[in-house]
Amino acid sequence: MIDVILQAFASIVLDPVTLGLMFVGTLAGILAGAIPGFTIAMGVILTLPFTFGMTAVQGLATMLGVFVGGFSGGLMSCMLTGIPGTPSSVATTFDGFPLVRSGRPGLALGLGLWSSFFGGMISAVILVALAPQLAFLGLEFGPWDYFSLIIFALTITVSLSGGNITKGLIAGLLGLFAATVGEDEINGVARFTFGFDDFKQGFAFLPVLIGLFAFSQLLTDVEDDKRAKSPLMSQSGTVVKVEHRQAILIILKRWLNLFRSSFIGIFTGILPAAGGSISNILAYDQAKKASPNRSNFGKGEYDGVIAPEAANNATAGGALIMMMALGIPGDIVTAVMLGALMIHNIIPGPTFIQDEPLLAYGVFIAFFVAHFFMVGLQAFSLRIFLLVTKIPMYVLASVILAYCAIGVFALHNIVFDIWVMFFFGVIGYFMKKLGFPLAPMILGVVLGKLAELNLARATGISDDMLLFISRPWSLFFLLMAIISVIFPFYQEAKKETLFAKLYVPISMIVLSLPLFLMGSPVRMIVAAILVLTGAYFLYKRTSSLKTT
Amino acid sequence: MSINKDTIVAIFLLLFCGIMINSSFDIEDPGYQGMKASFWPTIVLCLLSVMSLVMLIKSMVSSTENNLNFENTNSQNIFLKFKNASICFLMFILFLVFLDYLGMLIGGVLFVFGLLTLLGGFEIKKIINHSIISITTIGIMWSIFTFGLKVILPEGEILRIW
């Protein structure tokens, strides 16, 4: 094991090419995160074409640089201009911007930067510790369980992506359908090709992703004529000197907030589709509730900067845990990384860490290293950021649209892929306009083939469809899928309604059933705790109903 | 009962599902054991049809929030709203149609220049800026992919003859 870790370490830290790529990746990520209208996912997607010619380790290390850099880029724009660069830094604005305006911009940036660093480090440790264990758990999964896990990943994406659940489910199903076009992998039979030879190879995942996400986003960015022609930011910040030492001391004094926020971030990252945009607000909210200086929140409170920044960087580690251990992307960024691995003929899954230890530990180490780059590059990237914000959006959009075309062509060297990107770009644009969330569709495209493959394996082993509900893990994921579909209705329901009162306790009791069926002592104890807690809540809530 | 954007989208989706389910009957069955090639797409399409139907019903019984008001729809406003996106679509289609002839380098430069000028304006100073931006950015990207990443980008008939 040690020799594998050392080899992985050497492949990242002792290889100047990989380090150089990570340097550029982190810088690009910081800028992508800092520019409003651009997202971290978009930064990672646009990096992808450059990674085709790299080794798998180099490609993933570069993308991790963008991923980690993106989170800290968001804090730069929100603190200096009051406009969050990414949704994952929205809560940082609440106290970061007032702290800057109170005359402490160096301290505000330092707090954000080092909270991101420590949050990332904590999640990196958890990633290294938890991913292999979760992968061992994944080895228990049969095709039935895997199929149900994919269904759960899709339904939770739908319920967490906000908005109308019907539209979310339709988007997810459209993604699953798009993945069926072309020759099927099991029988080699052409499907929905309508006589076009180009359709036989199906829609490659990356052109679809770039089209749906990047292309449609760029069209939205230039939609408003006036906004498209004006510089990216009307309020431009100034270069400030970051107060590193004082920021570190303040954060370490507030270690409880740091750890709590980091764990919120990790947990949110593990959940498919729940990314930094949710974790930063959750962590801020918890920090505010736990703080004795609650009234200072919103006025430049240090804890209000530490919590969201630690949480959003920790989310990255959480999302990687799911991808590394089970091959299920936690968000769009890890979906892109999954695609990058597939380009190198590596299919992540429970055996990934065992089969590709060098690559797996390379990812772990790259995640650590990226955080050091993030800290080191902050001052330099601040200057570039101030220059980039003077460029109008229409210039960036036009250049990036052309870059998308070149990048997509580089994937298979065929023009058809550019047409696919364009087609899905148009679809993505109109879907957004009509209120359909894009994340479920993207996950549908990514997981569609995997779902079909596992369904085929399951039905190939046995005709008995009841295995989907009689196998404990499969039942567990299907129940989780049902619970996640109902979740948006729970959110909308008024607190005093019977449904809102019973949703959580009944979900807990129901989920304990498959855990009991698993038989192992630890899981039975967890199941018993779930039943008891659920029963306690049920009793309390029904008795409060009786009294009212 | 009302008709709104969602109603139209739901009807479109139902038509789409109908066509695709119909074409799923044409999927060949090679007679191998195990799951048929048409099984999974049919499940997905059936679920999609059900969800589209749910959307249709919901849209028809919902409030008048998204209702289409044909009398008050100003075609000029719609045009202005989608003007820039339409320009992007059109330019991209032109770029793709002429890609075999112009190649990625010339086609890319013309695409970026055209798009910049159509979106940004036709003043002389801007046109000069746009030409510099398009030549340098596409030139850099083309060089990175051609020489750095060894990707053979479409050369185009013009450069091939030349």
**Domain spans in chain B, listed from the N-terminal domain onward:** 5-66, 79-161
CA distance B162 to chain A (A): 22
Going by C-alpha positions, the residue among A457, A451, A189 that lies closest to residue B40 is A451
Q: Where are the alpha helices (DSSP H) in chain B?
A: 5-24, 39-61, 75-81, 83-97, 99-120, 124-143, 157-161
Among candidates B48, B108, B152 on the partner chain, residue whose Cβ is nearest the Cβ of A170: B48
- Looking at residue B14, its pLDDT comes to 96
Contact A186 B37 (CB under 8 A): yes
**Banded pLDDT at A383 (limits 50, 70, 90):** confident
Mean pLDDT computed over every residue of chain A = 84
Binary contact (A189, B54; C-beta < 8 A): no
Q: How far is CA B138 from the centre of its chain?
A: 22
Q: Which residue has the higher pLDDT, A422 or A299?
A: A422
- Alpha carbon of B75: minimum distance to chain A alpha carbons (Å): 17
A200-254, pLDDT tens digit by residue? 888 888 889 888 888 888 888 888 888 888 776 655 556 677 788 898 999 999 9
Residue A198 has pLDDT above 80, yes or no: yes
B97 in reach of chain A (CB within 8 A): no
B51 vs A190: CB contact, 8 Å cut-off? Answer: no
Q: Do B151 and A415 touch (CB under 8 A)?
A: no
Residues belonging to chain A: 548
* Per-residue pLDDT at A435 exceeds 70: yes
Per-residue 3-state assignment (H helix, E strand, C coil) for A4-55: HHHHHHHHHHCCHHHHHHHHHHHHHHHHHHHCCCCCHHHHHHHHHHHHCCCC
How many angstroms separate the CA atoms of A474 and A511, rounded?
A: 12
Report the pLDDT value the prediction gives residue B147, as an integer from 0 to 100. Answer: 87
Give the per-residue pLDDT at A510.
92
Distance CA(A447)–CA(A459), nearest Å, equals 18
The mean per-residue pLDDT over the stretch B97-121 comes to 93
Q: What is the DSSP letter of A213?
A: I
- Chain B, 37 to 76: residues with Cβ < 8 Å from chain A are 37-38, 40-41, 44-45, 47-48, 51-52, 54-55, 58
Is a pLDDT exceeding 80 seen at residue A547?
Answer: no
User: Of the segments A73-82, A287-296, A425-434, B68-77, which one has the largest average pLDDT value?
Assistant: A425-434
* Beta carbons of B20 and A191 less than 8 Å apart: no
Helix (H, G, I), strand (E, B), or coil: what is residue B106? helix
Six-digit token string for A422: 């364009």
pLDDT score at B69: 54
Q: How many CB atoms lie within 10 A of CB A411?
A: 21
Smallest Cα distance from A267 to chain B, Å: 31
Which residue of B6, B57, B84 to mutate against A (max A Cβ within 10 Å)? Answer: B84
Interstrand relation of A190-191 and A182-183 (parallel, antiparallel or unpaired): antiparallel
- Looking at the complex, does the CB of residue B141 fall below 8 Å from at least one CB of chain A? yes
Q: Mind telling me how many Å the CA of A96 is from chain B's nearest CA?
A: 34
- The answer on pLDDT for B90 being more than 90 is yes
Q: Which residue has the higher pLDDT, A289 or B95?
A: B95
**What is the pLDDT averaged over residues B110-119?**
94
**Can you give the pLDDT at residue A338?**
80
Whether ipTM exceeds 0.85 = yes
Residues of chain A neighbouring B104 (CB-CB closer than 8 A) = 405-406, 409
Contacts of B134 in chain A (CB under 8 A): 398
pLDDT of A300 higher than 60: yes
Amino acid at A482: I
Q: Compare A328 and A261 and report the one with higher pLDDT.
A: A261
The whole-number pLDDT of residue B107 equals: 94
Decide if A311 contacts A283 (C-beta within 8 A): yes
